[in-house]
Amino acid sequence: MTGPNPHQADRSLYNVAEVAAMLAKGDTLILAAEEPLLAALPRGNWIGGTSPYFMTAEAGGTCDRDRIFVQRMPDIASVAWVGMLDRAALPDMATLGPDNGYTIVLIPGQSDVHRDFALGGLDWQDMFRRPVVGWVTGVAGDAAATDRPKVFDGRTGRSADDAAVVLHVALPDDAFARVDIVNLFVPDMDGPVLTFADDTGFSIEWVVVDGVRTRMVDHIAARGIDTRLPLVADYNGAMINVATAAIDAASGQISFFAPVHSGIEYRFARPIADYPEQFAAQLGSPRGEVAFSCNCILNYLYAGLEGRTLGSMAGPVTFGEIAYMLLTQTMVYLVIERD
């Protein structure tokens, strides 16, 4: 193979022929690439989702439209269940998994299953029974008007833009999976508290600012807020971001990459001086074997990560990250440890 450094071989970029050879050997793979590359692969033990952006250990952040990012399932793991789940079936996804292991779910962006997971996934049965990680798929910026985000089930060769693909992974009794996130954003405590009552979800017009109801676009304009900085809220001890997707000044509507909820206090985040430096400091040295990771497209774009490495942490750059719930402007990773 002409692949990368063998120390990164389980999580790096390969061409179609190299990935096909891995599948022929019986490897189980989690893949990310543009749709034609995934569609060219033979059937086998793989799931995949569309994205042409990646963080690699060899070259840092990159847009690669000719290769596929591979995350190989660890040798000690086995497939417990894999398949496509439509909107009606997805709320039961966690009930299909093993007692000990983890779940990877890939969801096409801008789909009903994306919206359903974001708004209601935390209430689905058994969602906290084992670690759940994954990502929201997307397409290159110059293809957004013509292409749809897709997911693939490699066993059947089926692709979909209206269903999620789910891989339940079983681990032996002496091993366990742990999910963690790296979120560098913290709320600006000098800024006002924002809450949402009349408007919630992915698109809003009105916000309550320190108790005063106002249009969000007016609040942003009055304070000169840089909307590359997300809203940040404390969700049961974890700082969770809500990133701004678009602002329609004429209508006053603001759309987000994740929903805002009532009863939660948000603030805009403080700026980050040097993303790679602060990332390395917060990540440290994860214990165990890193089996999965992904990082947000907004971190890639806003922090200028093209050509810059984040240590050995490699994975697809995604359009929403999953660690039990939908996240934005966050890196998610999963490690496997043994007793």
Please list the pLDDT of the chain residue by residue as tens digits (339 residues): 334 433 345 789 999 999 999 999 999 999 999 999 999 999 999 999 999 999 999 899 999 999 999 999 999 999 999 999 999 999 999 999 999 999 999 999 999 999 999 999 999 999 999 999 999 999 998 888 889 999 999 999 999 999 999 999 999 999 999 999 999 999 999 999 999 988 899 999 999 999 999 999 999 999 999 999 999 999 888 899 999 999 998 999 999 999 999 999 999 999 988 888 888 888 877 888 999 999 999 999 998 899 998 877 899 999 999 999 999 999 999 999 998
| Contact in structure between 80 and 196 (CB atoms under 8 Å) | no
| Contact in structure between 275 and 309 (CB atoms under 8 Å) | no
Please give the radius of gyration of the chain, using alpha carbons only, rounded to the nearest integer. Answer: 20
- DSSP H or E run through 220: helix 216-223
Q: The tokens of 104 are what? A: 């990877």
CA 101, 105, 109: angle at the middle one, nearest 5?
165
Please tell me the number of Cα atoms within 13 Å of 244 on its side-chain side.
21
- DSSP alpha helix (H) spans, 91-212: 112-120
- Length of the chain counted residue by residue: 339
Distance from C-alpha of 34 to C-alpha of 196, rounded to nearest angstrom:
37
Distances (CA, A) of 268 to 113, 190, 257, 274, 336: 28, 10, 15, 18, 34
pTM: 0.94
Quote the pLDDT of residue 6: 37
Quote the pLDDT of residue 84: 98
- DSSP H or E run through 275: helix 275-283
Distance from C-alpha of 334 to C-alpha of 339, rounded to nearest angstrom:
16
Quote the pLDDT of residue 7: 35
Q: Output phi, psi for 59, to 5 deg.
A: -125, 5
| Contact in structure between 132 and 323 (CB atoms under 8 Å) | yes
Distance from C-alpha of 201 to C-alpha of 152, rounded to nearest angstrom:
28
Nearest Cα residue to 45 out of 17, 67, 73, 68: 73
3-class DSSP state of 89: coil
3-class DSSP state of 38: helix
Nearest Cα residue to 168 out of 137, 138, 134, 136: 134
Distances (CA, A) of 54 to 60, 95, 124, 227, 319: 8, 31, 30, 24, 12
| Contact in structure between 324 and 64 (CB atoms under 8 Å) | no
DSSP helix, strand, coil percent of the chain (3-state; round to 5):
20, 40, 40
